[in-house]
Amino acid sequence: MKQHILPAIRLTLVLMILCVGIYSLLLSGFARLTPEKGSGEKITDGNGKSYYANIGQRFDTTIYFNSRPSAVAYNAAGSGGSNKGPNNPDYLKEVQQRVDDFKQKNPGASIPADIVTASGSGLDPDISVAAANAQVARIAAARKLSQQTVQQLVNKSIDRPFFGPQKINVLKLNIGLDQLSH
């Protein structure tokens, strides 16, 4: 056993230089070459304020497309889901409350599952196309725009990837909405 201790320590040290030092430096250097310099994608609104494009924000007023419920209140210094089981009676009561609220705010609209359930990260930047469509009438009324204009904006904002589900980035959609009203 003894003859293994010293090589183990020495090997650990050189491997740390390789796997932590050189590896991180290589990737940091590569990130420096990208336009965002490794700090994550940003988008800017009409007033020149910039936001993380992929960090979801809380939107719960009538004049914005609402984002999904969040178990961490969209505080991106942490992250997480509700971790509630599908049968948990307290949880189901909470969902029922969200369903009722959504119905009240958007009468007559169909209710997609994503808008009444919390995401895994609590920072989901997206909503489904159905969730955006269900809010079009409310937004149009609140902003005194025609439903057609708002619907066009929604249609324009749909992200249609080659693989995976269609989705809409709520922040981008709402920034577009603000620009529409100006």
Partner 1 sequence: MNTEILGIIVMFVLTLLLSLPLGRYIAKVYGNGRTFLDPVFNPLERLLFKCGGINPHKEQNWKQQLVALLVINLIWFFLGMFILLNQSWLPLNPDHNPNQTPDQAFNTTISFLVNCNLQHYSGETGVSYFSQLYLMFLQFVTAATGMAAAAAVFYAFRKGTHQTLGNFYNAFVKSITRILLPISIIIGMILILNHTPMTFEGKQQMITLQGDTTYVSTGPVAAFVPIKHLGTNGGGFFGANSAHPLENVNYITNMTQMIAQMLIPFAMVFAFGQFINRRKLGWAIWCVMTLGFLILCIPNIIMEMHGNPNITAMGVSPALGAMEGKEVRFGAPSSAYWSIATTVISTGSINSMHSSYMPLSGMNMLLAMMTNCFYGGCGVGILNYFIFIILAVFVSGLMVGRTPEFMGKKIEAREMKIAMIVALLHPLLILAGTALAAALPSQTASTLANPGFHGFSEMLYEYTSSAANNGSGFEGLGDNTPWWNISTGFVLILSRYLPIIGPVAIAGILGAKKYIPESAGTLKTDTATFGFMVFAVIVIVAALSFFPALTLGPIAEYFGMG
Contacts with partner 1 in 102-121 (CB under 8 A)?
A: 103, 110-114, 116-121
Check residue 74 and give left, alpha or beta (phi > 0: left; psi -120 to 50: alpha): left
Closest distance of CB 63 from partner 1, Å: 9
Which part of the chain contacts partner 1 (CB under 8 A), choosing from 37-45, 137-145, 150-158? 37-45
- Amino acid code (one letter) for 63: I
Q: Is 98 helix (H, G, I), strand (E, B) or coil?
A: helix
The contacts of residue 33 (CB under 8 Å, 6+ apart) are none
Residue nearer to partner 1 on the CB measure, 89 or 144: 89
Which part of the chain contacts partner 1 (CB under 8 A), choosing from 40-48, 136-144, 150-158? 40-48
DSSP state at residue 167: B
E strands present in 118-157: 126-127
What residues between 59 and 98 interact with partner 1 by CB under 8 A?
59-61, 64, 68, 74-89, 92, 95-96
Contact 102, 110 (CB under 8 A): no
What residues between 136 and 155 interact with partner 1 by CB under 8 A?
none
Check residue 83 and give left, alpha or beta (phi > 0: left; psi -120 to 50: alpha): left
Which part of the chain contacts partner 1 (CB under 8 A), choosing from 50-58, 135-143, 144-152? 50-58
Among 106, 153, 171, 176, binds partner 1 (CB under 8 A): 171
Under the criterion CB under 8 A, does residue 23 sit at the interface with partner 1? yes
